[in-house]
Amino acid sequence: MKRVQPGWELYRSFLAVIRQGSLSGAARVLGLTQPTVGRHVDALEAALGVTLFTRSQAGLIASEGASALVPYAEAMASAADALERAASGEAEDERGVVRITASEMIGSEVLPKILVAFREAHPRIIVELMLSNRTEDLLRREADIAVRMVRPSQAALFARKLGTITLGFHAHPRYLKAHGSPKTLAELLEHPLIGFDKLPSVSRLDKLNFPVSRDSFAFRCDSDIGQYAALRAGFGIGICQLGLGRRDKLVHILPHALSFELETWLVMHEDLKSNRRVRLMFAHLAEHLRAYIASETA
């Protein structure tokens, strides 16, 4: 007898339970009833012949078998989203959805203003913006367009270099008025620095021979947005893009001693070149991000 493969709806419910930690939470996000989600999980367990969850006082605990399924279920979810976006508008029509992924800082501080102008010009195109410092997989269509700080290597991707963004140490004028401005790297280390907790981003400073580690940070946050909020609040000295620092009237600290650059690339899948709404968004982002990068040195 031919084995019947479990349908996507079963994996979708399974993935929602993994993410929410309970049947009730999964039911809320999916717009289903709790018994329906429970039946989906039971059906998937029966079809696969494995136990996916055990119950505890803290909720549902994923089994080892369930954890192994997660990346494949996430890939199915990304493919389903891509199918929905493809079906939401004709390739040569100015309507439908364009999904963009960008780093936290580019996505939260730079793109919103740029996207307002796009919305005014193309009101029937819906914009989805995913903020993540993780490199999203365009080959699996997790997004249509990506703003990346590294050059993509996959041959199936179309990439355009937009320029180089420079980063450096900054502080709020209010902080410097109260605590003074460091004149040397040694003095900089005497100030409260803003940096990461667990992420290994301090490695970017290794090339500068700057003796900094996790213990050097007086404020630790694994979110660039959180770090920038602390910087603007006057907590101490931290790293940000020169363009953002100038916009928010922050003071660039030791500009000739400490700075580093990030190449900026705009990327999409080669197959999307024929999609009008994606082409329009790609051209719009390329133009306005180039202007933003150029303003750093203006």
In terms of residue numbers, what domain contains 67? 8-85
| Final residue of a structural domain among 85, 112, 127 | 85
| CATH (domain of 185) | 3.40.190.290
Do 44 and 158 sit in the same domain of this protein? no
**Residue 85 pLDDT more than 50?**
yes
Do 230 and 161 sit in the same domain of this protein? yes
The one-letter amino acid code at 102 reads A
In a domain, 203, yes or no: yes
Do 171 and 234 sit in the same domain of this protein? yes
Do 71 and 104 sit in the same domain of this protein? no
Do 101 and 71 sit in the same domain of this protein? no
- How many domains, in total, are found in the chain? 2
- DSSP track, 154-186: -TTEEEEEEEEEEEEEEE-HHHHHHH----SHH
Do 108 and 68 sit in the same domain of this protein? no
User: Which helix H or strand E contains 152, and what residues bound it?
Assistant: none
Alpha-carbon gap, residue 26 to 21, rounded angstroms: 8
Residue 202 pLDDT level (bands cut at 50, 70, 90): very low
Do 52 and 130 sit in the same domain of this protein? no
Span 82-97, mean pLDDT? 65
Do 294 and 217 sit in the same domain of this protein? yes
Do 158 and 207 sit in the same domain of this protein? yes
Tens-place pLDDT, residues 91-144: 456 788 899 999 899 999 999 999 999 999 999 999 999 888 776 555 456 788
Do 158 and 187 sit in the same domain of this protein? yes
**Residue 258 pLDDT more than 80?**
no
In a domain, 90, yes or no: no
pLDDT of residue 1: 47
Tens-place pLDDT, residues 11-49: 888 888 888 888 888 888 888 888 898 899 888 888 888
In a domain, 189, yes or no: yes
Q: In the chain, which residue ranges form alpha helices assigned H by DSSP? A: 8-20, 23-30, 34-48, 64-87, 104-105, 111-121, 173-179, 185-188, 224-233, 242-247, 276-295
In a domain, 2, yes or no: no
Angle in degrees, 0-180, between the axes of helices 64-87 and 8-20, rounded to the nearest 10: 120
| CATH (domain of 55) | 1.10.10.10
